[in-house]
A and B are shown apart, each in its own frame.
Chain A
């Protein structure tokens, strides 16, 4: 089996027609399904948050069989993720895509349990502390994409679980939990 670093690639990745968007509906649905699972899986294990359509994303090309996904195919697979709420376009031109292997509400739940674990039920933390502080080391929150974190925090703010306050610059943004 072929691997990308530690990641084990599925068999279909070595089957050339999977790199051409299939014209027949049923076949294409199955194809998209497989790609969706692969992209989510890969991003989850490799902690990749943003996929650029024109970038050298390792899954878009398979040098072994000399195949590469067309722009159309890339967009089709990512759009399928977007329609399921597992991804979001970051721009109108659809060149960058945010991959949500955890949905926003799942990230929010992770933040809540992180706060509870650290006795921060009504504590204060900066946004950057959550992403890269000592407390979050070893948790899934460590190193998470800022855009996603902010979205999850806003989700929690909406539910009244915390308040976001702004400092003098973007780096100073912080939250006050009230769980």
Chain B
């Protein structure tokens, strides 16, 4: 005989669901508590560590970079906010924000000279001069971190890799593959000629001239007609720097 659904059956089912839910909630709460406990331990450990090595983290670029690596492994970004306990504890957020501002400053000050493309080494060097007497040394790793934080402000800043070399772009110019190849080629001597580009990259003369003209118009290249061989040379200030030009802008350090 088939049992027909009655009010008792419905009530039973509802009660069972309730119990399951309660049980589930209990388990979940237990788990959360455990997690919380673990996180607290972990956090206090990290805090201890950070407190203990505060000075090292601040002063020593190598140590700082390792600390960042450790943090990223456990999924913590000490730079995510300036409010977090990391920032409060270490003042590390301020360090990078300040650095970020100085990077923008240097990039803007040198833009007329290099067209808005600057090598990482040059940038570091200029930052060093600007921060002269400043407390902490700045490494290339620090610069890259500070730049990555600048992304929040839009797509203004980008790091371009050219072989081993890294360039920071602070203008919205899109560099295509051809331009990158020319810049890479120019790394040797600091300049290229149309001939050289054609020969070394196996391009037609039109393609070479086009790419070079674009780089020129963007202010990334400068021409030099003064050599004895009479061939026009294209120099790239972003690669072979005009060196420690610090500009007339105010010294913020």
Q: Which of B68-76, B160-168, B223-231 contacts A (4 or more CB under 8 A)?
A: B223-231
Interface centre among A11, A17, A22, A24 (most CB of B within 10 A): A17
Chain B residues closer than 8 Å to A132, beta-carbon distance: none
For A29-69 the 0/1 string (1 means CB < 8 A from B) is 11000000000000000000000000000000000001110
22 contacts between A and B (CB under 8 A): A11-B244, A12-B242, A15-B242, A16-B191, A16-B224, A16-B226, A16-B227, A17-B222, A17-B223, A17-B224, A17-B235, A19-B224, A19-B226, A20-B224, A20-B226, A23-B216, A24-B217, A27-B112, A27-B219, A66-B226, A66-B227, A66-B228
Enumerate chain B interface residues (CB-CB to A < 8 A): 112-113, 115, 191, 216-217, 219, 222-228, 233, 235, 237, 240, 242-245
**Using Cβ atoms and an 8 Å threshold, which residues of chain A touch B113?**
12, 30
A68 in contact with B226 given A16-B233, A24-B219, A27-B219 (CB within 8 Å): yes
Are A20 and B223 neighbours in the complex by a CB distance under 8 Å? yes
Give, as a whole number of angstroms, the nearest-CB distance from A29 to chain B: 8
Q: Is A26 an interface residue (CB 8 A)?
A: yes
Is A23 within 8 A of B242, CB to CB? no
Instruction: Summarize B's interface: helix, strand, loop or mixed.
Output: loop
Point out the residue from A15, A20, A26 that lies within 8 Å of B219, measured CB to CB: A26
A11 touches B243 (CB 8 A): yes
Chain B residues in 8 Å Cβ range of A68: 226
The residue in chain A whose Cβ has the minimal distance to the Cβ of B237 is A15
Closest to B220 in A: A27
- Tell me the bound Cα distance from A31 to B161 in angstroms: 28
* Alpha-carbon distance between A19 and B217 when the two chains are bound, in angstroms: 18
In the complex, A172→B114 CA distance in Å?
55
Q: What is the interface residue range for chain A against chain B?
A: 10 to 19
- B216: chain A residues at CB < 8 Å are 23-24
Contact pick for B112, options A16, A19, A26, CB 8 Å:
A26
**In the complex, what distance in Å separates the CA atom of A27 from the CA atom of B235?**
12
Q: How far is the CA of A16 from the CA of B193 in the complex (A)?
A: 14
What's the minimum C-beta distance from A143 to chain B, rounded to whole angstroms? 30
Q: Which of A10, A11, A22, A67 contacts B222 (CB 8 A)?
A: A22
Q: How far is the CA of A30 from the CA of B113 in the complex (A)?
A: 7
Bound-complex Cα distance A16 to B113 (A) = 13
Closest residue of B by beta carbon distance from A23: B223
Starting from the known contacts A16-B227, A68-B226, 8 additional A-B residue pairs (CB-CB under 8 Å) come to: A15-B235, A16-B233, A20-B225, A24-B219, A27-B219, A27-B222, A30-B112, A30-B113
Residues in B with CB closer than 8 Å to A23 are 216, 223
Q: How far is the CB of B205 from chain A (nearest CB, A)?
A: 19
Residues of B within 8 A of A26 (CB): 112, 219
CA distance A139 to B242 in the complex (A): 37
Q: Which B residues are CB-close (under 8 A) to A20?
A: 222-226
Identity of the chain B residue whose Cβ is nearest the Cβ of A10 in the assembled complex? B245
Contact status A11-B223, CB under 8 Å: no
Q: How far is the CA of A29 from the CA of B242 in the complex (A)?
A: 16
Q: Which of B217, B227, B235, B242 contacts A11 (CB 8 A)?
A: B242
A32 to chain B, nearest CB (A): 11
User: Are A12's CB and B245's CB within 8 A?
Assistant: yes
**Nearest Cβ in chain A — how far from B218, in angstroms?**
8
CB closest residue in chain A, given B113? A30
Q: In the assembled complex, how far is the CB of residue B115 from the closest CB belonging to chain A, in whole angstroms? A: 8
Bound complex: CA A18 to CA B242 (Å): 10
Chain A residues near B223: list those with CB within 8 A. Answer: 17, 20, 22-23
Q: Chain B contacts of A24 at CB under 8 A?
A: 216-217, 219
The residues of B that contact A19 with a CB separation of less than 8 Å are: 224, 226
A-B residue pairs, 10 tightest by C-beta: A17-B222, A30-B112, A17-B224, A11-B243, A67-B226, A16-B224, A17-B235, A20-B225, A15-B242, A19-B226
Which of A15, A18, A22, A30 gathers most chain B CB within 10 Å? A15
CB neighbours (8 Å) of A66 from chain B are 226-228
The interface residues of chain B lying within 8 Å CB-to-CB of A29 are 112
